[in-house]
Amino acid sequence: MRIAIVGSGPSGFYAAEAVQKKVPGVSIDMFERLHAPYGLVRYGVAPDHEKLKSVTKVFDMVAGKSGLRWFGQVELGRHVQLEELQQRYHAVVLATGAQGSKKLGVPGDDKPGSYNAADFVAWYNGHPDFRHLQFDLSGETAVVVGHGNVALDVARILLKPVDELATTEMASYALEALRNSNVRKVFVMGRRGPAQAKFTNKEVAEFEQLAGVTALARADELTLNDASQRELDSPAGDEARRNVALLSRFADVAAGAGNSRSVEFRFCLAPVRLEGNGKVTALVLEGTDLEGLPFKQEARGTGRFLAIPCQAVFASVGYKGVAPANVPFDARSSTVRHVNGRVVDESGVPQAGLYCTGWIKRGPTGVIGTNRNDSMETVATLFADLQAGPLVEPPVGDDIADLLRDRGVDFLDLQEWSRLDEFEKRMGARSGKAREKLVQRHEVRAALQAALDFH
C-alpha cells in the first residue's frame, strides 16, 4: 500500500504517524512545497515560543521511520498534479493547512501602514514567500485588530526587548527591523468582550512578564452583561474566566507604571475604516453592544465612534484555506468538503482515495496538538474505506521520484533536509542564535554544499 500526504506541517506528520501505527513500515510519501518541513511550527509559531517548537522532535521520529520519504520543494498543482498522485497511490491525504489570511475588509485597509498579521508572522519567521515584505515600524503606535493568539504574538513581538529575541530563530532581517522600531504603544482591539476573546491565559499572562512593558485594560470595558456572565459561569468558561481575571489585574495598573512601552487590551470596538492621506494615521472604530444567547453573542454597532491615532494596523482576524485545484471546496468556510476526513463532493459523494486533515479540513482553529486527533480521525476513515472494499491497485506503478526527475524538479529528500537543518543551526550558532533560517530558495543548493564541507 502506498499513501501520499501533501503538506509536511503538524497535520501531515500526525497523519503519517497514525498511518504508521496502523501499518508499521507502510510506504508513505510526503510532499512539501518549501525546502523545510514542519509548516506552521516553523513559520507560524513565534520564535520566542521555543517549547512549542520542540514538537518537531516528534515529527523527526515519524520521518525517520522506515517507508517514509519526504519530497521537499514539490508543489501540488505546479510540479505534480493531484491526478498524477491519485494514479500512483492508494490514498492521497491533503494536509495543506490554511495558507491565506482574512482581510479587515473596511475602507482604507489597503493603505500603506495597513498589514496582515499573518504576513508579519511569516515574515519574522523567515518564510521564503514573505521575505520581500516591509513593515514600517517608524511610528510610536500600532493597533492589532483581533483577539486571538496570533494578535498576541504580534503585539508581544512588537514590544519585546529585541535582545531577548536575538537568541531565537527569528529571521535576522526582522531582528534588525525590530531593533530600529519606534513602536512603544500597542492596542489589541476586539469587536466583542473579554469573555469572548479567543486568546488563551498563558499567552495573556506573558505580558505581565514582559520586561519594560506595562499591560493595561479598562475596567469599564471588562464589565460583563448577563449572557457573558453566564458564559463565564458555565463549565466551558474556564479559559474565559481566567482571562477576565488576568485582564482585571491589567485594569488596576496605572498607565505608564514606569515603563516606556505598553500594550492595551480594548473591547467591544469594531473596525470601521483606516484614515490617512496616503499612509495610515488613525483607525476609526465603532463601539459595540453584545446581543444574543450565551456563546452566540454578536457585536452590534452602537453608533458611537472612536479614532485611535496610529501609524500601523495589523489585521489579525484569522487564517483562510486556499482551495487545492480539482478538490471540492466550501468557499464560505475555506475548507475542503469532507465527512470525517473523506473528501466528498457537493452532493456528498466520496472522492475515491482522497482525504484531508488539519486546517484545510476543519478551518484555522486549535493548537498544534489538536491536529493529532484530527489526523487520527482522517486515518481511521481511510483505513475503514480500505477495509470495506477490495484494495484497487493504482493504474500507474512507476515511482513518483522518476516522474519528478524527468520533469527536472529540483526536489529535496530527508537527508538533504537534515543537512540544511545542520547548516541553519551552525549559521545560527555563529551569532548566538538557535538557528539562522535559510530564507532564499536559490541559496538551498549552495547551503547543501556548505553543509557537506563542514565534515
Using CB under 6 A, list all residues that contact ligand NAP.
49, 145-151, 153, 190-192, 196, 198, 203, 270-271, 316-319, 364-367
Residue 118 CB, shortest distance to ligand NAP, in Å, is 7
User: Are 365 and 350 within 8 A, CB to CB?
Assistant: no
For 146-256, strand residue ranges (E) read 185-189, 213-217
Residue 48 CB, shortest distance to ligand NAP, in Å, is 10
Our CB check for ligand NAP shows the closer of 43 and 89 to be: 43
Our CB check for ligand NAP shows the closer of 16 and 195 to be: 195
Residue 191 CB, shortest distance to ligand NAP, in Å, is 4
Q: How far is CA 142 from the centre of its chain?
A: 21
Residue 379 CB, shortest distance to ligand NAP, in Å, is 22
The alpha-carbon radius of gyration of the chain (Å, integer) is: 23
Our CB check for ligand NAP shows the closer of 161 and 292 to be: 292
Residue 151 CB, shortest distance to ligand NAP, in Å, is 6
Residue 190 CB, shortest distance to ligand NAP, in Å, is 5
Residue 88 CB, shortest distance to ligand NAP, in Å, is 33
Give CA–CA dist 179/370, Å, rounded. 35
Q: Helix 149-159 to helix 117-124 angle, to the nearest 10 degrees? A: 60
For 211-321, strand residue ranges (E) read 213-217, 261-266, 269-275, 282-291, 298-309, 312-315, 319-320
What nine digits make up the cell of 136? Answer: 514600517
Q: Which of 319, 317, 311, 318 is nearest to 143 (CA)?
A: 311
Residue 435 CB, shortest distance to ligand NAP, in Å, is 20
Our CB check for ligand NAP shows the closer of 55 and 151 to be: 151
Our CB check for ligand NAP shows the closer of 92 and 368 to be: 368
Our CB check for ligand NAP shows the closer of 150 and 155 to be: 150
Our CB check for ligand NAP shows the closer of 232 and 382 to be: 232
Residue 60 CB, shortest distance to ligand NAP, in Å, is 21
Give CA–CA dist 95/102, Å, rounded. 20
Our CB check for ligand NAP shows the closer of 72 and 358 to be: 358
Q: How far is CA 127 from the centre of its chain?
A: 12
- Distances 39 to 7, 35, 216 between C-alpha atoms, Å: 8, 11, 34
Residues 6+ apart with CB under 8 A from 440: 128, 131
Angle formed at CA 9 by CA 8 and CA 14, multiple of 5 degrees: 90
- Distances 156 to 25, 107, 142, 204, 209 between C-alpha atoms, Å: 43, 27, 12, 10, 11
Q: Helix 238-251 to helix 226-233 angle, to the nearest 10 degrees? A: 120
Give CA–CA dist 97/146, Å, rounded. 20
Our CB check for ligand NAP shows the closer of 196 and 351 to be: 196
Our CB check for ligand NAP shows the closer of 198 and 437 to be: 198
Residues 6+ apart with CB under 8 A from 44: 121, 122, 125
Find residue 71's DSSP bridge partners: 31
- Edge-first strand order for the sheet with 185-189 is 114-116, 312-315, 141-145, 185-189, 261-266, 213-217
Our CB check for ligand NAP shows the closer of 169 and 416 to be: 169
Q: Which of 338, 385, 334 is nearest to 357 (CA)?
A: 338
Residue 446 CB, shortest distance to ligand NAP, in Å, is 33
Residue 269 CB, shortest distance to ligand NAP, in Å, is 9
Q: Helix 56-64 to helix 10-22 angle, to the nearest 10 degrees? A: 40
Residue nearest to ligand NAP (CB): 148
Our CB check for ligand NAP shows the closer of 257 and 367 to be: 367
Residue 410 CB, shortest distance to ligand NAP, in Å, is 32
